Amino acid sequence: MVIAFNTLKRVSGCSEAVSVSALDFSDFYTEWGFWFFLVQGIAVALTALVPPLPAEFMVIASGAMAAEGVLPLSGAFMATFVGCLIGDIGLYALFRYKLMRLFLRWKWGRKLHRKILHISLHTGGISTWFGLLLVYAMPFGRSAAMATAGMMRMSWARLIGLAVIGGFLWSWWLIGLGYVPAAATDLPPWASTVAGIALGTAAGAVIALIGTRGRRIKL
């Protein structure tokens, strides 16, 4: 009877351990981490074509979670960087080869086209490689830089360099907005994300004000 009780206790303890393990977040990440990064990469890629899409919030949140050890920092970067490259190069091709006409068949496509052109012109018609790289730091800067490069018919060699360097800096900037507050404070990931969004919005507004000052073009 004592043996049966000890056996039952061990079985119960094993069951409890399995239950706790099932609720462990590391196991959850192992199962769903790939899909999280896949969604993040797709969202980042689509943000190039649809600037209002809040993919930046997801990237900042991944940085905050990486600081807490919830997910790997390398995974957050790769998902963001690859998504950025795909979206930026795709948008460049749309403007370089005038494929945007396909979107002009729909009202939402015409509105999107006008929005991207407005952002591009709002930068003051910057036409240098380094100037386009600086545009990345502005709100919706990725779309403006790639649209302008496409309309300029920038060579593929220069475009790839612009996309790689711009995407690298853009990715680490947004990830850092979430990572640094979480690593430097005791704030939970969601609070660090909010702080990063606020800081990024303020910095972007200042950069846009400085970058477009005296060079505003009205449509």
- Better-scored residue on pLDDT, 35 or 172: 172
**How many independent structural domains does the chain possess?**
1
pLDDT interval class at 119 (50, 70, 90):
low
183 occurs within a structural domain: yes
110 occurs within a structural domain: yes
C-beta separation of 75 from 32 below 8 A: no
Q: What is the pLDDT of residues 40-52, one digit of tens each?
A: 999 999 988 877 6
219 occurs within a structural domain: no
Q: pTM of the prediction?
A: 0.74
CB atoms within 10 A of CB 55: 24
155 occurs within a structural domain: yes
Taking the CA atoms of the chain, what radius of gyration do you get in angstroms? 23
158 occurs within a structural domain: yes
What's the pLDDT score for residue 18? 36
What's the pLDDT score for residue 118? 67
pLDDT interval class at 129 (50, 70, 90):
confident
C-beta separation of 11 from 18 below 8 A: no
- The residue range of the domain holding 97 is 2-212
Q: What is the pLDDT of residues 203-212, one digit of tens each?
A: 777 766 665 5
C-beta separation of 90 from 45 below 8 A: yes
What's the pLDDT score for residue 217? 44
- Better-scored residue on pLDDT, 206 or 198: 198
CB atoms within 10 A of CB 152: 18
Q: How far apart are the first and last CA of the chain?
A: 88
DSSP string, 179-190: HHHHHHS---HH
